[in-house]
């Protein structure tokens, strides 16, 4: 973590500074887009804790995303025990958990967010297929939302009504993001047998899981499925735009960037259409970079105008 950012976050202990710096480097490596957005657009005092929360979420996903359901359940049980111990003692031999414990000590509100995320992870380890669209929505609310709120919880506005509205908008945002994730990763998910498109949605377009392999005989049907799922994501994304009106002014550039990047993701998914059964897709890095630069420019105050000298 850069010295100036750590100073502004009032992180003075040398061990803590080294720990946060190590997590910054890790997140910059495995999540460069998210890291760059936080680094450029979030207030400096928030950045160290946001980074470690992203690192914790990534480590959790990595541990519970391999193997069959019993193996994933056991991995979650062990990880939760290690996390509980770290939060109880304030330290851990695991680098991510050690810094997470420091972050929770600095911001006690995070304790409940961490527990809610691990509670929701039970759904992540259990699912293999979604039978209905309602099951996809429950997954987004039960697991994806607590995962998002690990970091977005630090941006919740003051006041009960504003906070509740902010969290509802976050649910809309993560529902859109999760559906776009499932479309972007369709080819890999089919190979692994854990598909995020529900059987109900497939049947509506005359498709089965077998039709989602490369060389599908029904590319037109797959194209309609992708458009339908992208339309559902777009409706959720429109509802999420209330985030910027609810958030504090200093958080709005980051939130606007997040929302705009989801729009770019949606456009890329629509353009890919039936090719998603063969290869993943994502938004243009150039387009995402332009979003960040535009919000960075809006965040910086305009230089003062030069005063005109009076004539004569």
pLDDT, tens digit, 9 for 90 and up, residues 114-154: 999 999 999 999 888 999 999 999 999 999 999 999 999 99
- At 66 the pLDDT is 85
Contact residues for 74 (Cβ-Cβ < 8 A; gap 6+): none
The Cβ-side half-sphere exposure at 65, using a 13 Å CA radius, reads 9
Q: Which residue has the higher pLDDT, 264 or 69?
A: 264
Percent of the chain having pLDDT more than 90? 88
Domains of the chain: 1-126 (no CATH), 130-299 (1.10.600.10)
* SS3 state at 129: strand
- At 154 the pLDDT is 96
Q: Sorting pLDDT into bands at 50, 70 and 90, what band is 312?
A: very low
- At 67 the pLDDT is 85
Q: Sorting pLDDT into bands at 50, 70 and 90, what band is 60?
A: very high
Using one digit for the tens of pLDDT, what is the confidence trace for 174-211? 999 999 999 999 999 999 888 999 999 999 999 999 99
Using one digit for the tens of pLDDT, what is the confidence trace for 250-278? 999 999 999 999 999 999 999 999 999 99
Does residue 76 carry a pLDDT above 80? yes
Instruction: Report the predicted TM-score, pTM, of the whole model to 2 decimal places.
Output: 0.92
Q: Sorting pLDDT into bands at 50, 70 and 90, what band is 300?
A: low
Query: Token digits for 59?
Result: 């480590």
Distance CA 129, CA 155 (A): 33
As a whole number, mean pLDDT of residues 232-261 equals 97
Q: Which residue has the higher pLDDT, 124 or 216?
A: 124
Reported for 243-247, long-range contacts at CB under 8 A and 24+ positions apart, including other chains, are 243/166, 243/169, 243/170, 243/173, 246/157, 246/162, 246/165, 246/166, 246/169, 247/155, 247/157, 247/166
Using one digit for the tens of pLDDT, what is the confidence trace for 88-99? 999 999 999 999
- At 307 the pLDDT is 54
Does residue 304 carry a pLDDT above 60? no
- At 3 the pLDDT is 87
Using one digit for the tens of pLDDT, what is the confidence trace for 100-117? 999 999 999 999 999 999
Range of lowest pLDDT (62-66, 108-112, 254-258, 304-308): 304-308
Q: Which residue has the higher pLDDT, 69 or 235?
A: 235
> How far does the chain reach from its first CA to its final CA, in angstroms?
54
């Amino acid at each position: 973590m850069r010295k100036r950012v750590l100073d502004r976050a009032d992180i003075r202990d040398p061990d803590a500074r080294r720990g946060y710096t190590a997590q910054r480097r890790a997140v910059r490596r495995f999540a460069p887009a998210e890291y760059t957005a936080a680094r450029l657009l979030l207030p400096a005092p928030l950045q160290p804790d946001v980074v470690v929360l992203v690192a914790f979420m990534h480590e959790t996903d990595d541990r519970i995303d391999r193997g069959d359901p019993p193996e994933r359940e056991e991995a979650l049980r062990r990880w939760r025990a290690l996390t509980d111990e770290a939060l109880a003692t304030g330290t851990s031999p695991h680098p991510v958990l050690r810094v997470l414990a420091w972050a929770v000590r600095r911001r006690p509100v995070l304790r409940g967010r961490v527990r809610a995320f691990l509670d929701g992870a039970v759904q992540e380890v259990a699912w293999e297929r979604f039978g209905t669209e309602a099951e996809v929505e429950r997954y987004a609310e039960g697991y994806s939302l607590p995962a998002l709120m690990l970091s977005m919880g630090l941006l919740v506005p003051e006041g009960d009504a504003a906070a509740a509205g902010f969290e509802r908008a976050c649910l809309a945002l993560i529902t859109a993001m999760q559906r776009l994730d499932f479309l972007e990763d369709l080819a890999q998910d089919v190979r692994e047998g854990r598909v995020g498109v529900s059987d109900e949605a497939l049947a509506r377009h005359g498709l089965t899981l077998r039709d989602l392999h490369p060389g599908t005989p029904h590319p037109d049907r797959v194209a309609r499925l992708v458009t339908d799922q992208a339309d559902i994501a777009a409706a959720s994304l429109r509802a999420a735009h209330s985030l910027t009106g609810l958030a504090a002014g200093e958080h709005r550039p980051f939130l606007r960037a997040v929302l705009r990047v989801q729009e770019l993701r949606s456009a890329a998914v629509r353009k890919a259409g039936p090719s998603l059964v063969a290869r993943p897709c994502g938004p243009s890095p150039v387009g995402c970079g332009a979003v960040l630069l535009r919000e960075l420019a809006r965040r910086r105050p305009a230089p003062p105008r030069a005063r005109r000298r009076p004539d004569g």
